[in-house]
Every structure is written in C-alpha cells, then in structure tokens.
Amino acid sequence: MKKFEIPEYYKSPIISKVKAKRKLEDPRKKDFSPTSLIFENVEFIISRHFGFCYGVENAIEKSYKAIQENPEKRIFLISQMIHNPDVNQDLLSQGVKFIQDTDGTQLIPWEEITKEDIVIIPAFGTTTEIRDLLVNKGVDIKTYNTTCPFVEKVWNRSAKLGDNDHTIIIHGKYNHEETKATFSHSKQNSPSLIVKNMEETEFVAQFILGKKSIEEFKTFFDGKFSKNFNPEVDLNKIGVVNQTTMLATETQEIADFLKTVMIEKHGLLDIKSHFADTRDTLCYATNDNQSATIELLKSNADLAIVVGGYNSSNTSHLVELLEPKFKTFFIKNEEEIKSLNEINSFDIHTKKLNTHHEFLKGNSNPSIIITSGASCPDAVVDNVMKKVLELMNISFNPKSIAL
C-alpha cells in the first residue's frame, strides 16, 4: 500500500504506535479484535481499524501539494475535501476557498472561476455537469483530482453494467456529494435509481412484483431516478452499486433482497439475465471499519466515543452500530468534552448537538471504547484520549506506552 505525505500534525504518538504494532502482527487484517490500552485506572478499547483510509490520505496529500506548488494562485475546492471539520478548517486557514457547501449551495459563482485558478476535486468526486463546466472553462481538472479510487471503481462498474443494458440501483443518500457524483456518472450509461435503505428497496420490490403502480413509483421516488426512467422496462435487468460510505452490510442486504425478488419474478434459471453480482463495489476501508466496530460489540465497556465530522456518513454508521449496546457519544474533537460531568454529542437521528451531564461522573475506573471515521486524523483521536486522562488527573507520556 502506498505511503502518503500528510502533514505531521495529523499524525499521533499513541494511535500510530498501536496501528504499527497491529499491522506487524496481523498484516492481512484477519484479526478484527480491538486493542486495550490501560492508563492507571482508565482503559481505552481501541478499534482494530479506523481513521484515514487510502482515499482520504490521497486527497490530503494532493490538496496540500496544490497549496505548496501554487503559492501565487487562487485555490478552490468544489466542496469540502472530506467530511472532517479540523481538516477543512486547516485548508481554509491556508487560503483555500470552497465553491459549494456540502448541500450543493453555491458559495462562489462559477463565473468567478477562471482557467488560471487551481480547482481541487474532492475525495467524493464530482458530477459530470461540474466536470464539463470546468473543462469548458479551460480549468485543469486532472492534476489535483482527489477522487477516491474506490469511488471511481463504482463508476467503472456502473459503466460496465450499463454497457450490458443493466439499470443501476444506487444505495446511497440522495443529497450526499458522492451519491450525486455516482448518479451523474451512471445515468450517462444506463437508467439509474437511488434507494436510501431497505424501506425504499421494498417499495421497488413491490413495483417489480406488480403491487405498486407506475404513478405510485414515480411519486415515491420523485427526483431520485434518471430522465425518461421507465420502471416497467428498466427494472427488468438490474445491478446494485453503493455510496462507498454506507453500511456495507446494508448494501449487501439490499442486493441480496433484490436478487430474491428477481428470482421470484423471472425464475432461478434465468436470474443471470436479470440481476448482476456487484459485491466488488464495496469499499475495503468502509468494510474494515464496520467489521472492526462489530467486533467491538463483544467488549465489556462503560461507554463508547466515536470521533469524526457530524456530516460524515461513514462515521454516523459506526455510531449506528455501537449505540444499541453502549452509551455512545459522537464528537468532532476533544473540545466537545467539557468536564467529567459534561460532553456535547451529536445525535445522528435528530441531527442535533446535545449536552449530556452524566459523562464520566462517579466512574473512577472507566472502560471506554474509542474509534473514528475514515476522514478523522489520528491526532484528533489522541487528543480525545489525552483530554479524558487530563480530566481524570492521570499523567500521560506517550513514550511509556507498553503494547
């Protein structure tokens, strides 16, 4: 695996030591059990796999190279490079400007962008419409294109499916930048439809099996299918791809479910003519992060802390996996930990930041699960651990860590 050049302040003395040891012991990542670190009376149960993935490190390296190599030029990102507030704030502090926000709202008019400017395409990729707009302006979109290779893999798979007359079912969040980009690319080759979850997939199944009308289908999926989409024709031959940050198990569940529906509709002997196996579109990092989080569920812990950006899809799914068993706090960084009695935590269901007044109060021997999303620097996770130790009046020396 390629080693990327990322700023030193994103690296960590604690987590890097843990990851290096686990990589040495288990280079093929067959063991997803967590690592236990004990500091006097505090235990941290650290996920086997978390933090910067290949695509994020690639994006960070290229973005900082753009800054270093173009000191006299204006530098723009189409939108947030990754969904992490600390990384994006650092880029802003160095003069990078965002053309759009994560919802697609225009912050800088396209008319202001010229061919002399540096435009960075974020890790999520971008739509064919924005790509063509930039190309027509004469902007170089190749040198600092940070699109994740695994996102591009989904696009390439979609194109092959389209070449074989498959309709593309995209498992993703309609307003997420990556889903917009994937939808934009897939609809160039074939009819495309976005489903967010099993509930929406079941609606598709009901139409396929003749239990919903075209009018009901088009009303339910308004704005989520490609132009001239004809469900009566286009849902006869399908393949499922994903937004790479969704729950991998849910993507597979959706694909498996739709396969059974197509078997019911067309028969087992003819299934290959109506359904494509697309397991190869699942992102390795998303899979590993989620597998390691599932392994955390076997732990005995008092609480869990998940660190990452609140608009990070992959991070929210880690919270989703942990919160049924553990009291789980979703924080962007150590600043959300106010005291042993108080912590701010983002609620993935209400989309609100709430203050909790029973964090570690009265617990003199806590066992704390800790993990983070794929866009969170290890240094931020270090800082969260150090903040807890500081509040517990425990001295910390990273050189003294024994693994």
Who contacts 162 (Cβ-Cβ below 8 Å, separation ≥6)? 168, 186, 188, 189, 190
- Terminal C-alpha separation, the chain: 24
**How far is CA 51 from each of CA 12, 57, 133, 253, rounded to the nearest angstrom?**
11, 10, 33, 25
Strand partners, 225: 193
Count of residues making up the chain:
403
The burial class, CB within 10 Å (0-12 / 13-18 / 19+), for 96 is buried
Collapse the DSSP code of 61 into the 3-class scheme (helix H, G, I; strand E, B; otherwise coil) and give the result. Answer: helix
Determine how β-strand 42-46 pairs with β-strand 275-276: unpaired
**Active site (annotated) includes residue 178:** yes
CB 81, CB 63: distance < 8 Å: yes
Catalytic residue among 43, 57, 177, 178: 178
110, 119 Cβ separation under 8 angstroms: no
> Which residues in 213-322 belong to E strands, given as ranges?
238-242, 275-276, 303-307
What phi and psi values does residue 212 have, to the nearest 5 degrees?
A: -135, 150
For residues 365 and 351, give the distance between their C-alpha atoms in angstroms, rounded to a whole number.
Answer: 31
Paired residues of 303 in beta bridges: 368
Residue whose C-alpha is closest to residue 312's, from 156, 86, 158, 146: 86
Do strands 167-171 and 238-242 pair parallel, antiparallel, or not at all (unpaired)? parallel
Catalytic residues: 178
